[in-house]
Amino acid sequence: MKLSLQRALKRSAQRAVEHPARRGLPGRAAAGVPATVAPLRAPAGRSGVAAAPGLAEPPEGAPQERRRFALPGKLPLISQTYRPANFETPVEYFRTAITSNRAFFVRNHLTGIARTKAADWSLSVGGEGAARAAHFTLAQLRRDFPLCEITAVCQCAGNRRSLFQPRVPGLQWGVGAMGNARWRGVRLRDVLAAAGLLPEALEVAFGGADHAVLEQTADYVKSLPLAVALDENTLLAFEMNGQPLPRWNGYPVRLVVAGWSATYWVKQLVAIRVLNRAEDGFWMNTAYRLPLGKFDTPRFASQVGRDDEPVTTLLVNSLITAPRSGQRCARGRPIKVAGIAWDGGAGIALVEVSADLGATWRAARLGPDLGRFSFRVFTLALRPGAPGSLVLMARAVNRAGAGQAEQLVFNPVGYHHNVIQRVYLEVL
């Protein structure tokens, strides 16, 4: 029987003030979990994803500016939805390699964001693939494990979805569902080692303190292959650009999976489960999946289906941040082309710029290398010739030799848009 809206809201409000560590992970891992680990709750339905209205845009154009709104502690960001809060970063904040905390995009699947105090937060670790259950406070993470820092891009898999033609359902992100930050915390593998891993361990699943209004909506739970969970670049982060995580970006602790799509970067993390079977909740076996073999990205083997597979790593991409489409420039006067490039972790080796629709390309100057998971700034000075229309294009290549797509690789969920961008100028 479905709950009435009033009853559901009441239950949601009660859950928001409960200690976050009591919230568990839905899925197959319920059997055999030690009693000291938070119980699992299986989702009652698959209503967690719904198409959201938005504005379609021409595939070659710059994103249209929708209405901006300033969340507490944030600069005015481009509004996608208010409930749940989804806001993208305007292009002007990508003119530096590091995206400021106040300008960093906000992505939520569930409406309720817990107001957790750092002193009250704790993390439960267990599951049938763990040797024992363990609990950690934030103070214990800081004290008992080596601290580390990594600079990495956090990018929603649906970034640039509004550029798809024909239009596909989902949040109609422009180019700003991403950001690059210095993340500081402890390595996930060190925390898992404290609980111990059994030989049959296959995946590691993660749950946060966020919650939905309706009880039957699936909790947001993601899993990683064991090898990725044990990678030195997968962190439990509690600082972002030298400051505590903003509430909108996962305070007090979030998962950082460098090189992988932000769908795996679980915010307000409160529960970790080591599984000996594939996590089968909604957010793994239904959402964030692509047609099988559509993209040349690492395969999440235990989650591959007959016809589809999960999104994994980011693709090679670039963004021209200056000049902007529609800008006028004087003939013979130099203009500075600037932007950022990134990929899934090989690192950017080359960015080229064209002013003649790709007939010729010039190598841009690359800025400081902040690490292979980071944005890399590029610049190039051009002197426009004859008056008229001018089309700028930029394309990036990573150290593995992979480059951007010249044509859209269409998929019905609107993921992995990395088509070479065009910026339209008028020379006077």
Residue 21's pLDDT is 35
Based on the number of CB atoms within 10 Å of its own CB, is 58 exposed (0-12), middle (13-18) or buried (19 or more)?
exposed
- 315 has a pLDDT exceeding 70: yes
Comparison of pLDDT for 21 and 106, the residue scoring more: 106
Q: How many angstroms separate the Cα of 4 from the Cα of each of 11, 112, 210, 214, 408?
A: 11, 18, 21, 9, 44
How far is it, in rounded angstroms, from Cα 32 to Cα 271?
16
Angle at the Cα of 387 (from 386 to 389), degrees rounded to 5? Answer: 105
Stretch (H or E) spanning 179:
strand 178-187
Residues 6+ apart with CB under 8 A from 328: 425, 426, 427, 428
Residue partners of 117: CB distance under 8 A and separation at least 6? 252
Who contacts 92 (Cβ-Cβ below 8 Å, separation ≥6)? 321
d(CA 391, CA 386): 13
Tens of pLDDT, residues 67-103: 999 999 999 999 999 999 999 999 999 999 999 999 9
pLDDT at 65: 55
pTM for the model: 0.85
Angle at Cα 295 formed by Cα 394 and Cα 47, nearest 5°?
Answer: 110
* Between 63 and 324, the higher pLDDT residue: 324
Tell me the range of 25-34, 42-51, 369-378 where mean pLDDT is highest: 369-378
For residues 167-182, average pLDDT:
97
User: pLDDT at residue 110 above 80?
Assistant: yes
* Max mean pLDDT range (15-19, 31-35, 216-220): 216-220
All domains of the chain, ordered by start, with CATH? 5-310 (3.90.420.10), 317-427 (2.60.40.650)
Give the model confidence (pLDDT) of 328-376 as tens digits. Answer: 999 989 999 999 999 999 999 999 999 999 999 999 999 999 999 999 9
Q: Which of 84, 14, 6, 3 is nearest to 49 (CA)?
A: 84
Q: What is the DSSP letter of 102?
A: G
Annotate 309-371 with DSSP letters as a single string.
Answer: EE--BPPPEEEEEESPTT-EE-TTS-EEEEEEEE-SSS-EEEEEEESSTTSS-EEPEE-----
Mean model confidence pLDDT for the chain = 87
What is the DSSP annotation of 386-416?
A: SSEEEEEEEEEEETTS-B-BSS----TT---
pLDDT of residue 359: 95
Q: What percent of the chain stands above pLDDT 90?
A: 80
Residue keyed to tokens 């003030």: 17
pLDDT at 29 over 90: no
Mean pLDDT along residues 258-274? 98
Q: Find the range with the poorest average confidence among 220-229, 369-378, 382-391, 408-417.
A: 382-391
Assign 3-state DSSP to the chain and report helix, strand, coil percentages, each to 5.
15, 30, 55
Q: What is the pLDDT of residue 332?
A: 86
Read off the pLDDT band of 189 (50, 70, 90). Answer: very high
* CA dihedral angle for residue 270, residue 232, residue 185, residue 229, rounded to 10 degrees: -10
Bridge partners, residue 105, by sequence:
none
Query: Helices marked H in 61-122 — which ranges?
Result: none
Please compute the mean of the pLDDT values over residues 412-416 and round it to a whole number.
97
% the chain with pLDDT above 70 = 85
Residue 145 has pLDDT above 80, yes or no: yes
pLDDT band for 24, please (50, 70, 90 cuts).
very low
pLDDT surpassing 90 at residue 38:
no
* Dist. CA 421–CA 396, nearest whole Å: 11
